Structure 1
Amino acid sequence: MKKWSVLLASVLLMAACTNEETGSGSGKGEAQEQEGLKKVTMVLDWTPNTNHTGLYVAQKNGYFEEQGLDVDIVMPGEAGANQLVASNQAEFGIGAQESLTEARVQGIPIVSIAAVIQHNTSGFASPAEKGIESPKDYEGKAYGGWGAPVEKAVLSSIMEPEKADVEQVEILSIGNTDFFTAVQRDIDFAWIYYGWTGIEAELRGEELNMQYLTDYSEKLDYYTPILISNEEMIKNDPETVAAFTKAASQGYQFAIEQPEQAADILIEAVPDLDAELVKASQQWLSPKYQDDASRWGEQKPEVWLDYATWMLDNGLLEKELEVDQAYTNEFLPEEENN
């Protein structure tokens, strides 16, 4: 919980500095309007990848412009998307249900406005030669992560039903070390998103064993990633939030229907990306954006409640989450995507 206490303090400090330096919470000043478009900032959660394709499509195809917006898509830097959005340094961002849940309980006023992907596509992966075929096999192995308490809790929750002991797992922090380097040098398995790292393994010809979280617990089928904004933005400028969400929805719908063209748009926008990986990842991920939901972006209260309950039961939250304040479907286009 300490990290979120520090986060809350930094958010308040950043907001104060912004107001002092610019006279506004957005930091845009007179540059807010450009050529009749309202300039807003969209901050990513990580380096650009196929989780973000719909945003780049919306930018390239003019969907944002049609909604009266000039959207600047930026990298998060050290502050992170949650902090930047909460402190009005950015109007929108990419987040995840797990971090937003923690933030809300700590009083940080960010809100999920759309689910980018309907179901959790993450899980624990290992090279096939290491023989890790189920959570039971984690015993005696080294796991590489980023040092968050949630990692041990997730490991424990999927190991316990198999009568396996999480204390028999060596948990190491590997920071930003590449998965493929780490499993050859330091660890046996790690937590990955299959849609990127798993697809990269396929392209490398490296067979992985994968335990998806959703195969072991319904409560771990949470939304990741999500689009986020903050309470002040939603209250004071709902028109812009609705406009942004509509354009993003159009972008992701394009990526659902035309994954090849969507991949080309992402590659054009971020030429440093591996084009082969982007195209293969997009083909795998595009059907999963909307999946079984009635429309792209839809969020269900039970998904938020189930995961928050799981976090509370595992000592990861100090109190219950007020679910209705954590997310909203209000700004999604009313018509179902078909």
Structure 2
Amino acid sequence: MKQRTWLSLLLACVLLLVASACGASGQNGGSAPGKQETAGEGEQPAKLRDVQLMLDWSANTNHTGLYAAKELGYYEEEGLNVQIVQPGSGGTDAMVASGNVPFGISYQEGVTLARTQGLPLVSIAAIIQHNTSGFAAPKDRGIQKASDFEGKSYGGWGSPIEEAVMKSIMEIDGADVNKVNIVNIGDADYFTAVKRDIDFAWIYYAWTGIEAQLRGEPLDMIYVKDYSEQLDYYTPVIVTNEKLIADDPELVKAFMRATSKGYQYAIDHPEDAAALLSKAVPDLDAELVLESQKWLSPRYQDDSPRWGEQKAEVWSGYADWMFERKLLEKELDAERAFTNEFLPDK
């Protein structure tokens, strides 16, 4: 569950310019969304509308609510046949913004960058209320605060935002990011990299941190949100595009009604939800899925009045942080980057 690479974001934007010429294929076809009608005797069941949802990475517990909604028939109840697909080489953001895929999983960082480049990506739900990512190191490295990064080797994926975040939190501790040896390890596995090349890396605790526990390899975790409210951004989020919202809001509402039910199920029944994910994606380590789910389920909604709700100050706060550090070409219109319109009432 690595962060999206900066290079893939830029590539996605380039590919989008080509893909956009294809129009919004695939998002308006099929029957209209709505409750599936019961077929009478001798009649065929009402046809479900085919809808694709593209993930951000390989399936994990960030996505459990999606699989729960599919496995428990919540999407079918809304007249939808949802196919959950892996991201393509062009990137999920590009595919969703162009309308080639109606829904996807992204990050606040990706949506922010896309919108400041004029791409019509919109976040319609925060999967997790608070940022569960941060810098992790094996306990024997003695990295317990940001100032401890000095003199150590960091393994990353080559994004300018990594150094900007490290610099930001290290300065709070009175430390110098220039004293960190930054190594590009690409997609290398965290556990292999810390044994071979590096001292610490940026991870999502719900997956890699839980895996470390199960491996008996304890780590120290420095959550970026603990250093700055501006770094407590939404990751991941569910996205669609402006055209679909304008042309077919009922599809978005139907999709989100079912998705919200799926995440509520995962909140209320973490062990059963973990079993659903393991059944749907049998290649996953079932023990890791279970322990990750038990850790993550209470954090989906956390202190929010309902699952998925987003706040304007979270969007503007992180965008301001990015703009101040020259990670954005222009300021973000935060109010247009997200909407709570399609979340069902509690």
What interval of TM-score do these two structures reach, taking the shorter chain for normalisation?
over 0.9
C-alpha separation in 2, matches of 1:143 and 1:120: 20
Unaligned runs of 5+ in 1: 20-24
User: TM (normalized to structure 2)?
Assistant: 0.92
Query: C-alpha displacement at 1:8, in angstroms?
Result: 2.8
Q: How does 1:257-268 map to 2 (within 5 A)?
A: 257-268=268-279
How high is the sequence identity, in percent, across the aligned residues?
58
Does the alignment pair 1:110 with 2:126? no
Question: CA offsets per residue over residues 96-138 of structure 1, 9 Å max, x none?
Answer: 0011111110111100000000000000000001111111110
Of residues 93, 98, 107 in structure 2, which corresponds to 1:82? 93
Write the letter of the residue equivalent to 1:263.
A
C-alpha separation in 2, matches of 1:326 and 1:103: 10
Q: How does 1:1-338 map to 2 (within 5 A)?
A: 6-16=11-21, 18-19=22-23, 25-27=24-26, 35-334=46-345, 336=346
Write the letter of the residue equivalent to 2:26.
G
Query: C-alpha displacement at 1:280, in angstroms?
Result: 0.2
C-alpha separation in 2, matches of 1:125 and 1:6: 28
5-14 vs 185-194, which deviates more?
5-14
Unaligned runs of 5+ in 2: 1-5, 33-44
Contact 1:145 1:151 in 2 (8 A): yes
C-alpha separation in 2, matches of 1:171 and 1:220: 21
Write the letter of the residue equivalent to 2:88.
G
Query: C-alpha displacement at 1:35, in angstroms?
Result: 4.9
C-alpha separation in 1, matches of 2:29 and 2:315: 39
C-alpha separation in 2, matches of 1:315 and 1:29: 38
Contact 2:12 2:93 in 1 (8 A): no
Supply the RMSD in Å over aligned alpha carbons.
1.6
Distance 1:329 1:30, change over 3 A: closer
Contact 2:12 2:91 in 1 (8 A): no
Distance 1:142 1:300, change over 3 A: same
Instruction: Number of aligned residue pairs: give it.
Output: 329
Contact 1:4 1:106 in 2 (8 A): no
Query: C-alpha displacement at 1:319, in angstroms?
Result: 1.0
Write the letter of the residue equivalent to 2:189.
D
C-alpha separation in 1, matches of 2:313 and 2:156: 28
Distance 1:97 1:29, change over 3 A: closer
Question: CA offsets per residue over residues 43-83 of structure 1, 9 Å max, x none?
Answer: 00000000000000000111111111110100002122101
Tell me, what secondary structure is at the counterpart of 1:55?
helix
Distance 1:28 1:287, change over 3 A: closer
Tell me, what secondary structure is at the counterpart of 1:40?
strand
C-alpha separation in 2, matches of 1:187 and 1:227: 33
3-12 vs 163-172, which deviates more?
3-12
C-alpha separation in 1, matches of 2:58 and 2:109: 19
Write the letter of the residue equivalent to 1:308.
A
